[in-house]
A and B are shown apart, each in its own frame.
Chain A
């Protein structure tokens, strides 16, 4: 970490009126989640034999994984492409990814019919190498482990030299301190291995998440089904990484009354047009090659959501990011980032259930209130955990404050 730029725990009043609203939303989510666990999927969701995957897979899992891409894109930027200038955003992006993936796993537990069998894919006698989902599951599990390992040095930094265990445990203070120093030292030497592993695992499962629905060519609308879905998922996830980091930095700046990080965010945004442009080019090329543009004006749910998520929420932010005026204006930058983030959310939901057309659909799938409540509750819990962890651990950079000191 370069001079004058240190991460430190945020000193702030933890419980604010906004936090109470957040906790109310979390309690609501927990209630619906418990209801599902006690009274079955049918009692909470509108899932049925025609629509086996719904809001929870579309948002909690597919969108959750995509929006956590900020973790591997920033660590690649700083540690592999050695752009030190962006150091301050690595830790918040890592925390977001760690929480994001943790809640992908928690969200999945509510959707799995036999959630207590979630460990089955790790057992060699149940490995199924032809299954796309098997690869996604294994990569997500390994990557989650890598993310936790990458977070360990932050924990070490917080407690090294100030281990104060309560009561009788105090006798272990020295031992724990030695363990922390050892972990910090060893991880410092080998961290590049985990950084590279994290990037590779991310590329693998971000793309394979797209391959998932390639197996349903007759069900997914032609505007969405493509053998290039893995490529589209990977490029769109890489493109959404920096916008997520930008939005998160601006929100946490507002929430904790910190100075803005525009001096980092504006240069970060200059890369967005290239990454978004690559995704848009692949998607246009695929559409032209397969001739799927003939469905653009048919007025179906799939074609409408295509116009919204690709036309309005991908191409428009692409042009916004191109403008240097937008990149320098906090409001403009926030708008562009938020637009594309919602675009990715809609894109993943389209691939999982909006553009999914079962041959014998009896009625359309509309997520139930309980499905929305649990999803929103999980998102609120991520925000809560983020706030808690940045007050406990040195995650957010305090560069501006130090610079102001004499």
Chain B
């Protein structure tokens, strides 16, 4: 991993140079972030793995397949690590500390709703977009089904309906944007939690709250808020007693991932200058070569050349 990190730091120098060329704030293009944008703070240390949030999520999102009664009471699902799929927007996993087998933590996962979402930057038709308030939402009517969003997402969140022949959709947590947030309600999972693992609110206030908790109980939390700076920051953030890598949240740098591609693209198409310059220089070369050939032909007196085939 150290090799990875070092190479990223170095390559950022290269991207930085391109950024200067493009004159763009890396990763800022296309993202409209409200100063008081929303977020959720997930405190893994109080989660008991009851899966009520999973049930509430399924109930709130009516387009998800219904589950039989009692399906969410099954605790045997914790025997292995689960991921979201095209019929599940959130799952809770149980993580044991390999170094200290007595210690374990439940962690709920769902779309992180990045501040600089790679899926939104990648999408060829703008089917994925970011609300200034935070939610990253999907419009199936625009989607062409290329799945580039899935390749781009560093958290490997979007899932696909591979078994749907005609109208497959990219599926992921919606932040309950249309079903609840737009009506002034909080996300279903947040409201359902009996342990109040999740706190919904303004992202800036959540960060303040997280720091307060960490100051008050430094023994209870690792000293890092996951999602504060990862890949430029996320709307969903985590507090944990176990290191984040052990609860399945990967170690990421602070640089937003669209910040690697967008400066290249924007530099390449700055006022269409680079493509036009290439056109011009190719035309110039052709003209030079042609006049040279004419000179040579005039000398040897061979007559004219054909222009094309």
Shortest CB distance A129–B (Å): 8
In the complex, A38→B143 CA distance in Å? 20
| A169 interfacial contact with B, CB 8 Å | no
In the complex, A134→B122 CA distance in Å? 8
Residue of A nearest to B80 (CB): A362
A52-B160, A359-B156 given; A217·B143 CB < 8 A: no
| B282 interfacial contact with A, CB 8 Å | yes
Decide if the interface of chain A is mainly helix, strand, loop or mixed. Answer: helix
> Do A153 and B308 touch (CB < 8 A)?
yes
| B142 interfacial contact with A, CB 8 Å | yes
Interface hit among B11-19, B45-53, B174-182, B236-244: B11-19
Q: A196 to chain B: which residues have CB within 8 Å?
A: 279, 282-283, 286
Shortest CB distance A131–B (Å): 5
> Do A82 and B293 touch (CB < 8 A)?
yes
- What would 18 more interface pairs be, CB under 8 Å, given A43-B163, A115-B145? A52-B147, A53-B147, A53-B151, A80-B285, A82-B286, A113-B161, A120-B124, A121-B125, A121-B144, A130-B262, A153-B309, A211-B264, A212-B148, A214-B260, A215-B122, A215-B151, A358-B156, A359-B250
> Do A291 and B3 touch (CB < 8 A)?
yes
> Do A49 and B150 touch (CB < 8 A)?
yes
Give the size range of A's interface with the partner.
35 or more
| B118 interfacial contact with A, CB 8 Å | yes
| A11 interfacial contact with B, CB 8 Å | no
Q: A356 to chain B: which residues have CB within 8 Å?
A: 151
- Mask, A121-137, CB within 8 Å of B = 1, is 10000111111111101
> Do A216 and B156 touch (CB < 8 A)?
no
In the complex, A22→B25 CA distance in Å? 53
| B300 interfacial contact with A, CB 8 Å | no
Shortest CB distance B308–A (Å): 6
> Do A112 and B146 touch (CB < 8 A)?
yes
Interface hit among A25-33, A200-208, A263-271, A320-328: A200-208
Interface hit among B36-44, B59-67, B164-172, B213-221: B164-172
Shortest CB distance B290–A (Å): 6
| A300 interfacial contact with B, CB 8 Å | no
> Do B150 and A133 touch (CB < 8 A)?
no
In the complex, A53→B162 CA distance in Å? 12
Q: A211 to chain B: which residues have CB within 8 Å?
A: 261, 264-265
Please give me the 10 A-B residue pairs with the lowest Cβ-Cβ distance, nearest first.
A113-B145, A52-B150, A52-B147, A42-B162, A82-B289, A113-B168, A42-B163, A114-B145, A40-B165, A126-B125
In the complex, A137→B144 CA distance in Å? 12
In the complex, A197→B275 CA distance in Å? 9
| A345 interfacial contact with B, CB 8 Å | no
Interface hit among A222-230, A244-252, A330-338: A222-230
Q: B83 to chain A: which residues have CB within 8 Å?
A: 49, 360, 362
> Do A216 and B160 touch (CB < 8 A)?
no
In the complex, A114→B160 CA distance in Å? 12
> Do A290 and B156 touch (CB < 8 A)?
no
Please report which residues of chain A, range 67-109, place their CB below 8 angstroms from some CB of chain B when the two chains form the complex: 76, 78-82, 84, 87, 90-91
> Do A291 and B6 touch (CB < 8 A)?
yes
| B197 interfacial contact with A, CB 8 Å | no
> Do B3 and A133 touch (CB < 8 A)?
no
> Do B14 and A228 touch (CB < 8 A)?
yes
> Do B278 and A203 touch (CB < 8 A)?
yes
| B8 interfacial contact with A, CB 8 Å | yes
> Do A230 and B264 touch (CB < 8 A)?
yes
Q: A191 to chain B: which residues have CB within 8 Å?
A: 308
In the complex, A163→B118 CA distance in Å? 55
In the complex, A7→B257 CA distance in Å? 51
In the complex, A38→B163 CA distance in Å? 11
A200-B282, A215-B121, A228-B14 given; A49·B275 CB < 8 A: no
Q: A81 to chain B: which residues have CB within 8 Å?
A: 285-286, 289
| A1 interfacial contact with B, CB 8 Å | yes
| B10 interfacial contact with A, CB 8 Å | yes
> Do A218 and B6 touch (CB < 8 A)?
no
Shortest CB distance B136–A (Å): 14
Q: B201 to chain A: which residues have CB within 8 Å?
A: none
Q: Which of B120, B160, B250, B258 contacts A113 (CB 8 A)?
A: B160
Residue of B nearest to A207 (CB): B268
Q: Which of B120, B143, B165, B265 contacts A39 (CB 8 A)?
A: B165
Q: B260 to chain A: which residues have CB within 8 Å?
A: 214-215, 217, 227
Q: A398 to chain B: which residues have CB within 8 Å?
A: none
- Mask, B100-135, CB within 8 Å of A = 1, is 000000000000000000101111111000000000
A115-B145, A132-B261 given; A360·B156 CB < 8 A: yes
| A145 interfacial contact with B, CB 8 Å | no
> Do A204 and B275 touch (CB < 8 A)?
yes
A196-B283, A222-B4 given; A50·B156 CB < 8 A: yes
Shortest CB distance B101–A (Å): 22
- Return 18 A-B CB contacts under 8 Å, by A number: A53-B147, A80-B289, A81-B286, A113-B161, A114-B145, A121-B125, A128-B125, A129-B269, A199-B282, A203-B278, A211-B264, A214-B260, A215-B121, A219-B156, A227-B18, A294-B3, A295-B3, A359-B154
| A41 interfacial contact with B, CB 8 Å | yes
> Do A91 and B309 touch (CB < 8 A)?
yes
In the complex, A222→B14 CA distance in Å? 15
In the complex, A192→B161 CA distance in Å? 46
- Mask, B255-282, CB within 8 Å of A = 1, is 0011011101100110000010011001
| A289 interfacial contact with B, CB 8 Å | yes
In the complex, A248→B148 CA distance in Å? 33
> Do B118 and A215 touch (CB < 8 A)?
yes
Shortest CB distance B155–A (Å): 8
| B152 interfacial contact with A, CB 8 Å | yes
Q: Which of B18, B151, B159, B307 contacts A216 (CB 8 A)?
A: B151
Please report which residues of chain A, range 285-344, place their CB below 8 angstroms from some CB of chain B when the two chains form the complex: 289-292, 294-295
In the complex, A362→B8 CA distance in Å? 26
| A45 interfacial contact with B, CB 8 Å | yes
> Do A1 and B264 touch (CB < 8 A)?
no
| B305 interfacial contact with A, CB 8 Å | yes
Q: B76 to chain A: which residues have CB within 8 Å?
A: none
Q: B14 to chain A: which residues have CB within 8 Å?
A: 227-228, 289
In the complex, A351→B118 CA distance in Å? 18
Q: B10 to chain A: which residues have CB within 8 Å?
A: 289-291
A49-B160, A135-B265 given; A213·B145 CB < 8 A: no
The residue among B85, B118, B144, B156 with the most chain A CB atoms within 10 A of its own CB is B144
